[in-house]
Amino acid sequence: MAPSKKKHASNQACVIPGGFTVLSLQFSSVSVAQHKLYVKEHKVRAERSSHRPMDRTLFVLNIPPYCSEDVVKRMFSEFGSVQSVELRDHPGSSHESGPKISKVFRPAAKQGFKVGYVVFENASSIKAAKSHPHNVPLVVSTKEHPVRTGTQKWIQQYSDSFVHTDKLQQTVDSFMEGYDKRKKEEEERQKEEAEQQQEDEEGWVKVTRGSKGTKARPHSEAANKKTLQKEIRKKKRKELMNFYTWQHRNTQKEHIAELRKKFEEDKQRIALLRAQRKFKPY
Whether residue 248 is predicted with pLDDT greater than 90 in this model: the reply is no
pLDDT at 219: 55
Average pLDDT, the chain: 79
CA angle 16, 20, 25 (to 5 degrees): 95
Higher pLDDT, 213 or 48: 48
Tell me how far the alpha carbon of residue 98 is from its chain's centroid.
7
Whether residue 217 is predicted with pLDDT greater than 60 in this model: the reply is no
pLDDT at 8: 42
How many whole angstroms separate alpha carbon 59 and alpha carbon 133?
18
Q: Which of 53, 120, 51 is nearest to 88 (CA)?
A: 51
CB 12 within 8 A of CB 6: no
pLDDT at 265: 93
How many whole angstroms separate alpha carbon 23 and alpha carbon 20?
10
Query: pLDDT digits over 69-103, tens only?
Result: 888 999 999 998 999 898 888 887 765 555 666 66
What's 180's DSSP letter? H
Whether residue 47 is predicted with pLDDT greater than 70 in this model: the reply is no
196 exposure class (CB count in 10 Å sphere: 0-12, 13-18, 19+): middle
Q: Where are the alpha helices (DSSP H) in the chain?
A: 5-10, 69-76, 124-130, 150-160, 165-196, 221-238, 245-275
Q: Where are the alpha helices (DSSP H) in 46-164?
A: 69-76, 124-130, 150-160
Whether residue 211 is predicted with pLDDT greater than 80 in this model: the reply is no
